[in-house]
Amino acid sequence: MRLAPAGSVPRPDTTASLAETERLASTLVRVLDEEGRALGPWNPHLDAADLQVGLRHMVLTRRFDDRMQRIQRQGRISFYMKSTGEEAVSVAGAMALRPDDMLFPSYRNQGLHIARGRSLVDLMCQCLSNTRDMCKGRQMPVMYHWASGNIFSISGNLATQFPQAVGWAMAAALKGEDRLASSWIGEGSSAEADFHHGLTFAAVYQAPVILNLVNNQWAISTFQGFAGGEHGTFAARGPGYGIAGIRVDGNDFLAVYAVTQWAAERARRGAGPTLIEHVTYRAGAHSTSDDPSRYRPQEEWQAFPLGDPIERLERHLIALGEWSAERQERLQKEMDAHVAECWKESVRFGTLTEGPSLDPATMFEDVFKEMPQHLVRQRRELKTLLGG
Amino acid sequence: MPQMNMVQAVNSALDVMLGRDPAVVIMGEDIGYFGGVFRCTDGLQRKYGEARVIDTPIAEGGIVAAAIGMGVNGLRPVAEIQFADYVYPAFDQIVSELARLRYRTAGEFSAAVTVRMPCGGGIRGGQTHSQSPEGIFTHVCGIKVVMPSNPYDAKGLLVSSIEDDDPVIFFEPKRLYNGPFDGDWHKPAVPWSTHPKGEVPADHYRIALSRAQIVRAGSDVTILTYGTMVHVAEAAVRLAEVDAEIIDLRTLVPLDLDAVCTSVCKTGRCVVVHEATRFSGFGAELSASVQEECFWHLQAPIQRVTGWDTPYPHAFEWEYFPGPNRIVSALKTVMEVV
């Protein structure tokens, strides 16, 4: 893997021409060094309080993931997908944007919801398909959405959100709104045509959009080479389309924040879209249905040169004199307690196997805005079958 | 009242909606500066500007995806797919995204997108410019499917489709763009100005979706059809000299089952006609529904007249096209049974 020392990459102006940004696509923007010092022109100079908020969101995301994984193993939810090792990508990515910017996530972006302050009870109830499920039992676990929080729905068909985000951004520009869209895709699903459509449309219409490619090294069982990452960087595809591309250390909270901030300012100043490749590592299995020991060495994450995003931000805060091992332990305990409390509250609304449960007849709602006759008839038939 | 062909009627519907609703945008390949390969969007970019009449890259999947994103952001996009035969790269965005967005988010997100596309044969388009893929879309839950048979309906149905908050696939039978076509390709083309449905109001009007229309009342047999085949069926009825009731379905989803059943229960006979291929086609759905609802009124087995189950061949277009003679034959078959 090609690395670059922290602080070594120059930061062009946000309105720089494509040619002036081209080096960013092949190098690696890093701010935090091994000792936890923030170096170089990409240092976003965040207040210690903001850094602590970021750390808190990342720890909460990880503890939430761990708990949900255990709950799935107990058979209380059908499926789960952890984002362990990738927390900085979502948390810093959300924190660097405005609350009214629209986010089009992939399935491993739960940190976006958490960074935007979503109640864990909402997320848990979705995973439980219970009476408080935002999706009314229609989606597998983790396929969240949040209209009032400006987070779009997650599709099980990968990459579809990428060109949709571009269309959303085109509409924002057309309406004269100062809002941008940001979308996330995995390096694996960047092989889909939707990725190409997203970049083409973003370039043609100079849409105010940030296109994030999360290179966590692994699709399900195939390494990033199977998506074409062995012979060039994914970020370098940006300039190929006429879009600025930046390759960033995705486990460096400060670097992700700074690069997102740069891309957002570029979009808001009308200088066009940006493709950001976040280099990170999927520390867990693809999902609870996956067994990574069958295709990769167990200790690979330990050998991954970019480390753990939580430990690195923690080390930085300690270096600043704004954190300690004791505070970290206290934070983890607090987050665990919060997760446990939210779980207790969530199961009050039912689980997939135990009541209270949704009325199955609701499955006929929302196919169309108004229910057509054939669905009214089918609903009646189901109600009769169920003895309603 | 102005005379319009179907191209002008579609253009008028788009013009009226762009003028009335600032949320309406139209997009597609060659639709802006050039005005569309069939001229359906002629002059609209000059009138409404590049921001609302948008030329796109040649990427149907990208067009529909961008339209969905725009719809989520409050616009009402009308996307043109240059030929229905080109829609397949957009299939995932239509089936997995557009059709199900409202459902999967329990109503929190939706996209009011209309996807227009010319369909059908009869213009020497071969197997990639002649298809009628409506049955592929009627099988998908969450999208409405419309196919007009004349300029008056085309405008009113397109206005309703654009105003509808659900996604609509709007098929335009391209053989009807310039005139009604009765299936006899030897005859000189007839312009829409000779047809009463070529009179099209210049202003805004709607034709409700999911309302079929009786285009010929009759008592012996019901012909269920739509699009180009409405006119072919009319010609066949004249040839067969039977008192057939012809129903133009206009909207396939949601289907006006009441109109279908009322007619078939009255006549006791049914012939289903479409240009698309037969196996698993929309005619199979019609035939099954009629059987379920009207079985005790039926005096003969239901007949289907459709395109053959082959790709649309360039050289044998008229052997492929389900012309009036095949409909006459089906009418005779159902009438022979006592």
Average pLDDT, chain A: 97
Q: What is the sign of the dihedral through the CA atoms of A197, A198, A202 and A203?
A: negative
Is the pLDDT reported for residue A388 higher than 80? no
For residues B53 and B169, membership in a common domain is answered with yes
Residue B337 has pLDDT above 80, yes or no: no
Nearest C-alpha in A relative to B140: A367
pLDDT at position B85 is 98
Give pLDDT, residue A353.
Answer: 82
Which pLDDT does position A355 carry in this prediction? Answer: 86
Q: Please confirm, yes or no, whether B129 is among the known catalytic residues.
A: yes
Task: Show the domain range for B154.
Answer: 6-198
Query: What pLDDT shows up at residue A208?
Result: 98
> Dmax of chain B from CA atoms?
63
- Among B65, B92, B110, the residue with its CB nearest the CB of A167 is B65
Residue B284 within any structural domain of the chain: yes
Cβ within 8 Å, pair B104-A155: yes
Asked if the model's pLDDT at residue A59 lies above 80, the reply is yes
Do B271 and B325 belong to one domain? Answer: yes
Determine the Cα–Cα distance for residues A303 and A385; give it in Å rounded to an integer.
57
B51, B66, B141 member nearest A367 (Cβ)? B141
Closest alpha carbon within chain B to A204: B57
Based on the fold, state whether residues B144 and B224 are members of the same structural domain: no
Tell me: do A251 and A381 sit in the same domain. Answer: no
Compare all CA atoms of chain A with the CA of B258 and give the residue at the minimum distance.
A373
Sorting pLDDT into bands at 50, 70 and 90, what band is B112?
very high
Checking if the pLDDT of A354 tops 90, the result is no
* Domains of chain A: total: 2
The reply to whether B155 and B224 lie within a common domain is: no
One domain for residues B157 and B45: yes
Question: For residues A68-83, b (16+ Cβ closer than 10 Å) or e, as one string?
Answer: bbebbeeebbeebbbb
Checking if the pLDDT of A63 tops 90, the result is: yes
Mean pLDDT, residues A177-190 taken together: 97
**Which of B250, B235, B247, B221 is CA-nearest to residue B331?**
B221
Reply yes or no on whether the pLDDT at A94 is more than 80.
yes
What CATH number should be reported for the domain holding residue B181?
3.40.50.970
pLDDT for position A290:
93
Check pLDDT > 70 for residue A345.
yes
Same-domain status, B16 and B112? yes
Domain boundary residue among B164, B198, B232?
B198
Chain A partners within 8 Å of B51 (Cβ):
174
Contact A166 B51 (CB under 8 A): no
User: What pLDDT score does B51 carry?
Assistant: 97
Q: Are residues A163 and B65, on separate chains, in Cβ contact within 8 Å?
A: yes
Q: Which of residues 265-324 of B touch A (CB under 8 A)?
A: none
Q: pLDDT tens across A33-43, in order?
A: 999 999 999 99
In a domain, A101, yes or no: yes
Burial A208-234 (b: 16+ CB within 10 A, else e): bbbbbbbbbbbbeeeebeebebeeebb
As a whole number of angstroms, the distance between CA B263 and CA B294 comes to: 10
pLDDT single digits (tens) A95-111:
999 999 999 999 999 99
Domain assignment present for B36: yes
Res B25: pLDDT: 98
- My answer on whether A243 and A388 are in the same domain is no
Please identify, among B144, B164, B198, the residue that sits at the C-terminal boundary of a domain: B198
Judge: A145–B142 Cβ closer than 8 Å, yes or no.
Answer: no
Task: State the amino acid at position A4 in one-letter form.
Answer: A
Please indicate whether, in this complex, the C-beta atoms of B106 and A134 are within 8 angstroms of each other.
yes
pLDDT at A250: 98
Q: Is the pLDDT of residue A195 over 80?
A: yes
Arithmetic mean of pLDDT over chain B: 97
pLDDT for residue A352: 79
Q: How many domains does chain B have?
A: 2
DSSP element (H, E) containing A162: helix A161-174
Q: Percent of chain B beyond pLDDT 90? A: 99
Contacts of B73 in chain A (CB under 8 A): 102, 167-168, 171-172, 175
Which tens digit of pLDDT belongs to each residue from A278-335?
999 999 999 999 999 999 998 898 999 999 999 999 999 999 999 999 999 999 999 9
Name the pTM for this structure: 0.98
- Per-residue pLDDT tens for B30-74? 999 999 999 999 999 999 999 999 999 999 999 999 999 999 999
- CB of B282 within 8 A of CB of B316? no
Residues B150 and B252 in one domain: no
A39 and A139 in a single domain? The answer is yes
Closest residue in A to B68 (Cα–Cα): A164
The residue segments making up the domain with residue A142 are 18-357
DSSP assignment, residue A152? P
For residues B191-207, average pLDDT: 97
Contact status of B58 with chain A (Cβ, < 8 Å)? no
pLDDT tens profile A217-262: 999 999 999 999 999 999 999 999 999 999 999 999 999 999 999 9
Does residue B12 form part of some domain? Answer: yes
Structure tokens at B79: 């996307």
At CA A216, angle to CA A210 and CA A221, rounded to 5?
130
Indicate whether A136 pLDDT > 80: yes
Q: Could you give the ipTM of this predicted complex? A: 0.97
Kindly report the CATH number assigned to the domain that includes residue B303.
3.40.50.920
Give the model's pLDDT for residue B338: 59
Residues B48 and B142 in one domain: yes
| Residue B72 falls inside a structural domain | yes
Yes or no, beta carbons of B61 and A136 under 8 Å apart: no
Are B175 and B243 members of one domain? Answer: no
- Which B residues in the span 183-212 are in contact with A, Cβ-Cβ below 8 Å? 210
The verdict on B101 touching A (C-beta cutoff 8 Å) is: yes
Q: Which residues pair with B117 in a beta bridge?
A: B171
In this structure, is residue B207 part of a structural domain? no
Give the nearest partner residue to A145 out of B57, B73, B109, using CB atoms. Answer: B109
- Mutation for B interface: A168, A192, A205, A364, most B CBs within 10 A: A168
DSSP-assigned letters across all residues of A288-348: TT--GGGTS-TTHHHH-TT--HHHHHHHHHHHTTS--HHHHHHHHHHHHHHHHHHHHHHHT
Among A143, A167, A198, whose Cβ lies nearest the Cβ of B68? A167
Does A230 reside within a domain? Answer: yes
The active-site residue out of B129, B139, B204, B231 is B129
Interior/surface letters A42-56, b for 16+ CB within 10 angstroms, e for the rest: bbbebeeeebbebbb
Which of A144, A102, A160 lies closest to B67 in space, CA to CA?
A160
- pLDDT for A2 beyond 90: no
The answer to whether B255 contacts A136, with C-beta atoms less than 8 Å apart, is: no
- Residues B192 and B240 reside in one and the same domain: no
Query: How does DSSP classify residue A192?
Result: S
